[in-house]
């Protein structure tokens, strides 16, 4: 890929001299615009949910105004409760009080029905006192509820991004970790990176010798091997994952085979385990690692290696000092591609992985689809995107890999 | 009038939905349900008879029961469906998120005719199902007698499957730990109670295979991946009746739940949707579903219309209602999000 030399006619070069760098940009403009509008804008809009959360601010205009007059921390006085009752009554009329209840429930687990109860009270009895409201919703008598409400009146929030790192505000200016039984995301991010690393190493271990073999086979046989590699590449990821469940399950082909051959004496659990997950992911990712390596290996001239040997280089030295530096860009590109794709794996962990093999995408999907907590999903996506970009930049800058030049 | 799809910032999330042009003249009702044996039964019991009676065209769509898809439709202002089937806790969630409309019961039926907890603000109950234990009689020599036997790894060694959610599992864990059924939700409402439930689940954690979709339990039993599984009673009964599987259901300590139907905000054929809800809420019509899948009616006056041979298979059969718990929707509305997070953290440990 990298070293294919393009014949460059003189006319082409001269035309290029006159035009500026805008020309390639103009040619790519339709694609860039499409990407910007169909991918860029929605991604930014969704990610902005991680920090922009106006539900409480929109639902409680009177309360915010009253809280500004209030002296500060703690449970506020009667006027704030009056304003809160007005907001709840308005919210019920507008049908937005349920959203408020859900939002407060995210910040203060278990208060949803209390909010709805105090709303009914406010709607029925416009003169409900602070005492009556606290009786209907005991959480209103607690200091931490009001500090959560005060925090929520700010349209911009760090709550979700902090949660993505298992952190929370413990005081006005202090950040602490969430309780151990609620801490989940750091572990999941760690697991996602671990599995991506393991799969990348496994694909590399398989792809490197295979690619080397393919470059040295006769062209006819090499193309057959290439088709065999590409065949699964053209098959849907869902089909391949389903096929692996047939192979890996307890009464599946692999277990039958191993029992028959006498390799194992008992059926082993490969489904719903990390071993099974890594086997399936390695198979699915193999072409992504192999193809860049293969394309670079093909461009290495065998005569160079022979020359090196004729100058007295031992096979290992030739490999290390002549061959490896030349194929390294392909190896890094293949590994980076596989690693990044593994970070976003979703289907295979759902179908083959066990409960403790779910990757970060599974949690994002859960927050989008089941929990309807899109703010949390956006925060997790943001962290995933940022770490992927960070990894890409590190690889290109410090390891000298340039994927744009590769193509 | 909008002639083109409204492009919105959330277009990406809504990309799965295709803009639909409304045909002129013909009345159409579009319903989205959770598929499988259940949706086939809904079709035979209610969709087709209603379409014939009301002279409308019935469109069906399938989804996995998650609210995210409906929320994306509502937020992009493009709602191609009129009715959607959901779980009870999802009705509360959809109500809270402003995704489902509040039902005007004067257009459906007298609210007092529904069993308690089945006529909610944003959703109307359509059937009663049981969370039960199922096993393969050809695998287990000794039959389990209670759902709680799933916690007995000494007597029943091997993998067992449970739904990948805290709901039901925490209730069963407390029951197995000796909490009387009447006090399950009271105990689960305290931090100590939650700890106690998770501690009980810890004892079988390494033996559990987790399932997500209702079709999985019969598959897990059939592939002998597990020796027993929690399941929705109808899915197991379908496997017994239609696929002739040697499965059996254990009813003792079942948890009774309701399926609901709701109208998403922005549904285009609102009148027709209400007409359908009123149709299904008739006593004789409400009893029809049981003929096709053994789920019971939610209307108190439907019972006489349930066929005699269906009754013993229902979760509401007198024999099955001796030792049972009714799932508490309000509890899960309040604590669901918190407990799901705790559950996920527990799974990840």
pLDDT (tens digit, 9 = 90+) per residue, B236-271? 999 999 899 999 999 999 999 999 999 999 999 999
Round to whole Å and give the CA distance between A181 and A295: 48
B334 touches chain A (CB under 8 A): yes
Round to whole Å and give the CA distance between B115 and B106: 17
Q: What is the pLDDT of residue A22?
A: 80
B335 touches chain A (CB under 8 A): yes
Residue among B98, B224, B335 minimizing CB distance to A96: B98
Contact A42 B71 (CB under 8 A): no
Rg (CA), chain A: 30
**Residue A99 CB partners (closer than 8 Å, separation 6+):** A55, A59, B96, B97, B98
Q: Which among B32, B91, B344, B349 is the top mutation candidate for probing chain A, defined by the most A β-carbons within 10 Å of its own β-carbon?
A: B344
Give B32's Cβ-side CA count (13 Å radius): 21
**pLDDT (tens digit per residue) in A303-335:** 998 999 999 989 899 999 999 999 998 999 999
The rounded mean pLDDT for chain B is: 90
Round to whole Å and give the CA distance between A112 and B189: 13
**How many Cβ atoms are within 10 Å of A257's Cβ, its own excluded?**
12
Portion 93-122 of B in contact with A at CB < 8 A? 93, 95-99, 102
A272 touches chain B (CB under 8 A): yes
- Closest chain B C-alpha to A234 CA, distance in angstroms: 23
- For A221, B131, B170, B178, B214, the CA distances from A371, given in Å and listed in that order, are 52, 21, 18, 31, 19
Contact A46 B346 (CB under 8 A): no
Among the listed residues B158, B178, B5, the one whose alpha carbon sits nearest the alpha carbon of residue B76: B5
Q: b vs e for B231-242, b when ≥16 Cβ sit within 10 Å of the residue's Cβ?
A: bbbbbbbbbbee
Residue among B224, B330, B344 minimizing CB distance to A251: B224
Determine which helix (DSSP H) or strand (DSSP E) holds A197, and give its type and residue range: helix A185-216
- For A184, A186, B85, B348, the CA distances from A190, given in Å and listed in that order, are 10, 6, 37, 11
Tell me what percent of the residues of chain B surpass a pLDDT of 70. 93
Confidence of residue A405 (pLDDT cuts 50, 70, 90): low
Give A392's Cβ-side CA count (13 Å radius): 14
- Whether A247 has a pLDDT exceeding 90, the answer reads yes
Round to whole Å and give the CA distance between B61 and B79: 13
CA distance between the termini of chain B: 53
Contact A109 B337 (CB under 8 A): yes
Contact B341 A187 (CB under 8 A): no
Round to whole Å and give the CA distance between B232 and B144: 17
Find, in chain A, the residue whose alpha carbon is nearest to that of B194.
Answer: A181
Largest separation between any pair of C-alpha atoms in chain B: 67
- Whether B8 has a pLDDT exceeding 60, the answer reads no
The rounded mean pLDDT for chain A is: 87
CA distance between the termini of chain A: 6
Q: What are the chain B neighbours of A106 within 8 Å (beta carbons)?
A: 337
Q: What are the chain B neighbours of A374 within 8 Å (beta carbons)?
A: 71
Q: What are the chain B neighbours of A181 within 8 Å (beta carbons)?
A: 198, 342, 345-346
- Whether B113 has a pLDDT exceeding 80, the answer reads yes
- Closest chain A C-alpha to B314 CA, distance in angstroms: 28
Report pTM.
0.85
Find, in chain B, the residue whose alpha carbon is nearest to that of A166.
Answer: B345
- Closest chain A C-alpha to B312 CA, distance in angstroms: 34
Round to whole Å and give the CA distance between B260 and A1: 57
**Residue B46 CB partners (closer than 8 Å, separation 6+):** B279, B280, B285, B288, B289
- Closest chain B C-alpha to A399 CA, distance in angstroms: 34
Round to whole Å and give the CA distance between A172 and A212: 60
Q: 3-state class of A336 per DSSP?
A: helix
Contact B225 A354 (CB under 8 A): no
Contact A184 B345 (CB under 8 A): yes
Determine which helix (DSSP H) or strand (DSSP E) holds B263, and give its type and residue range: none
Mean pLDDT of B32-56: 93
**pLDDT (tens digit per residue) in A91-116:** 888 878 888 998 888 888 889 889 98
Among the listed residues A81, A91, A177, A182, the one whose alpha carbon sits nearest the alpha carbon of residue A136: A81
Q: What is the pLDDT of residue B330?
A: 87
Round to whole Å and give the CA distance between B64 and B214: 10
CA B13-B16-B17 angle, to 5 degrees, is 100
Portion 236-255 of A in contact with B at CB < 8 A? 249-251
Least confident of A58-72, B19-33, B205-219: B19-33
Contact B67 A370 (CB under 8 A): yes
Residue among A99, A187, A363 minimizing CB distance to B97: A99
β-partners of residue B231 are B132
Contact B69 A46 (CB under 8 A): no
- Whether A16 has a pLDDT exceeding 60, the answer reads no
Find, in chain B, the residue whose alpha carbon is nearest to that of A98.
Answer: B96
Contact B97 A98 (CB under 8 A): yes
**pLDDT (tens digit per residue) in B294-349:** 999 999 999 899 999 999 999 989 899 889 999 998 899 889 888 988 998 898 87
Q: What is the pLDDT of residue B1?
A: 37
The size of the A-B interface in CB pairs under 8 A is 114
Q: What are the chain A neighbours of B337 within 8 Å (beta carbons)?
A: 105-106, 109, 371, 373
Q: What is the pLDDT of residue A400?
A: 66
**How many Cβ atoms are within 10 Å of B86's Cβ, its own excluded?**
26
Residue among B11, B12, B96 minimizing CB distance to A98: B96
Determine which helix (DSSP H) or strand (DSSP E) holds B144, and give its type and residue range: none
Round to whole Å and give the CA distance between B286 and A174: 57
Confidence of residue B203 (pLDDT cuts 50, 70, 90): very high
Round to whole Å and give the CA distance between B66 and A377: 15
Q: What are the chain A neighbours of B333 within 8 Å (beta carbons)?
A: 112-113
A163 touches chain B (CB under 8 A): no
**Residue A165 CB partners (closer than 8 Å, separation 6+):** A185, A186, A383
Per the CB < 8 A criterion, the answer to whether B109 and B242 are in contact is no
- Closest chain A C-alpha to B50 CA, distance in angstroms: 31
Portion 344-383 of A in contact with B at CB < 8 A? 350, 354-356, 358, 363, 366, 368-374
Q: Which among B96, B162, B211, B333 is the top mutation candidate for probing chain A, defined by the most A β-carbons within 10 Å of its own β-carbon?
A: B96
- Whether A277 has a pLDDT exceeding 60, the answer reads yes
Q: Computed from CA positions of residues B230, B157, B146, B221, in that sequence, does the dihedral angle turn out positive or negative?
A: positive
Per the CB < 8 A criterion, the answer to whether A184 and B345 are in contact is yes
- Whether B24 has a pLDDT exceeding 60, the answer reads no
Contact B95 A38 (CB under 8 A): no
Q: What is the pLDDT of residue A311?
A: 92
């Amino acid at each position: 890929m990298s070293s294919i030399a393009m014949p460059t006619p003189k006319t082409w070069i001269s035309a290029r001299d006159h035009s500026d760098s805008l020309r390639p940009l103009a040619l790519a403009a339709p694609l860039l615009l499409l990407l910007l509008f169909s991918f860029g804008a929605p991604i930014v809009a969704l990610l902005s949910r991680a920090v922009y959360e106006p539900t409480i601010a929109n639902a409680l205009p009177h309360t915010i105004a009253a809280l500004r007059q209030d002296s500060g921390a703690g449970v506020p006085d009667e006027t704030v409760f009056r304003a809160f009752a007005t907001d709840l009554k308005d919210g019920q009329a507008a049908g937005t009080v349920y959203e408020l209840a859900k939002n407060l429930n995210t910040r203060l687990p278990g208060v949803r029905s209390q909010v709805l109860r105090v709303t009914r009270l406010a709607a029925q009895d416009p003169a409900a006192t602070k005492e009556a409201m606290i009786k209907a919703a005991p959480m209103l008598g607690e200091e931490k509820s009001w500090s959560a409400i005060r925090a929520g009146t700010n349209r911009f929030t760090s709550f979700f991004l902090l949660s993505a790192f298992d952190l929370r505000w413990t005081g006005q200016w202090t950040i602490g970790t969430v309780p151990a039984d609620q801490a989940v995301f750091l572990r999941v991010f760690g697991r996602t990176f671990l599995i991506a690393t393991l799969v990348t190493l496994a694909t590399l271990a398989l792809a490197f010798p295979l690619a080397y073999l393919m470059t040295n086979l006769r062209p006819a046989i090499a193309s057959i091997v290439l088709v065999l590699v590409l065949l699964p590449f053209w098959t849907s990821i869902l089909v391949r994952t389903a096929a692996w469940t047939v192979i890996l399950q307890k009464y599946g082909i692999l277990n039958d085979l191993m029992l028959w051959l006498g390799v194992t004496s008992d059926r082993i659990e490969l489904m719903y385990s990390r071993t099974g997950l890594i086997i399936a992911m390695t198979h699915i990712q193999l072409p992504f690692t192999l193809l860049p390596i293969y394309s670079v290996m093909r461009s290495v001239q065998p005569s160079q290696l022979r020359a090196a040997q004729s100058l007295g280089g031992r096979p290992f030295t030739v490999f290390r000092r002549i061959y490896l530096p030349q194929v390294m860009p392909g190896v890094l590109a293949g590994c980076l591609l596989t690693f990044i794709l593994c970070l976003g794996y979703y289907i295979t962990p759902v179908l083959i992985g066990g409960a403790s093999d779910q990757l970060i995408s599974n949690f994002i999907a859960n927050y989008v689809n089941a929990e309807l907590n899109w703010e949390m999903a956006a925060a997790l996506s943001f962290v995933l995107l940022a770490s992927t970009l960070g990894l890409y930049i590190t690889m290109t800058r410090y390891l000298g890999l340039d994927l744009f030049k590769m193509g | 009038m909008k002639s083109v799809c409204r492009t919105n910032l959330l277009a990406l999330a809504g990309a799965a939905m295709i803009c639909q042009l409304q045909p002129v003249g013909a009345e159409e009702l579009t319903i989205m349900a959770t598929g499988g044996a259940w949706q086939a039964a809904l079709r035979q019991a209610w969709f087709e008879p209603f379409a014939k009676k009301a002279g409308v065209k019935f469109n069906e769509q399938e989804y996995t029961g998650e609210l995210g898809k409906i929320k994306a439709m509502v937020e992009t202002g493009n709602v191609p469906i009129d009715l959607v089937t959901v779980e009870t806790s999802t009705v509360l969630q959809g109500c809270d998120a402003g995704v489902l409309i509040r039902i005007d019961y004067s257009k459906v039926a007298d609210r007092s005719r529904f069993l308690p907890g089945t006529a909610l603000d944003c959703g109307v109950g359509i059937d009663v199902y049981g969370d039960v234990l199922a096993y393969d009689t050809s695998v287990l020599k000794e039959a389990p007698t209670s759902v709680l036997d799933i916690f007995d790894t000494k007597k029943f060694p091997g993998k067992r499957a449970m739904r990948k959610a805290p709901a039901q599992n925490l209730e069963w864990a407390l029951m197995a730990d000796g909490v009387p059924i009447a006090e399950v939700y009271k105990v689960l409402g305290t931090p100590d109670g939650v700890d106690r439930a998770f501690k009980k689940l810890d004892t079988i954690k390494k033996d559990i295979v987790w399932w997500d979709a209702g079709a999985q339990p019969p598959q897990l039993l059939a592939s002998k991946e597990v020796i027993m599984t929690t399941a929705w009673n109808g899915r197991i009964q379908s496997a017994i009746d239609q696929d002739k599987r040697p499965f059996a259901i254990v009813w003792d300590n079942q948890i009774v739940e309701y399926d609901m139907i709701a109208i998403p905000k922005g549904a285009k054929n609102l009148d027709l949707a209400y007409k359908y809800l009123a149709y299904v809420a008739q006593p004789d019509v409400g009893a029809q579903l049981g003929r096709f899948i053994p789920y019971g009616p939610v209307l108190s006056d439907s019972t006489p219309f349930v066929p005699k041979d269906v009754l013993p298979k229902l979760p509401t059969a007198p024999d099955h209602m001796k030792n049972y718990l009714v799932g508490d929707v309000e509890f899960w509305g309040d604590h669901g999000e918190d407990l799901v997070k705790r559950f996920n953290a527990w799974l990840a440990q």
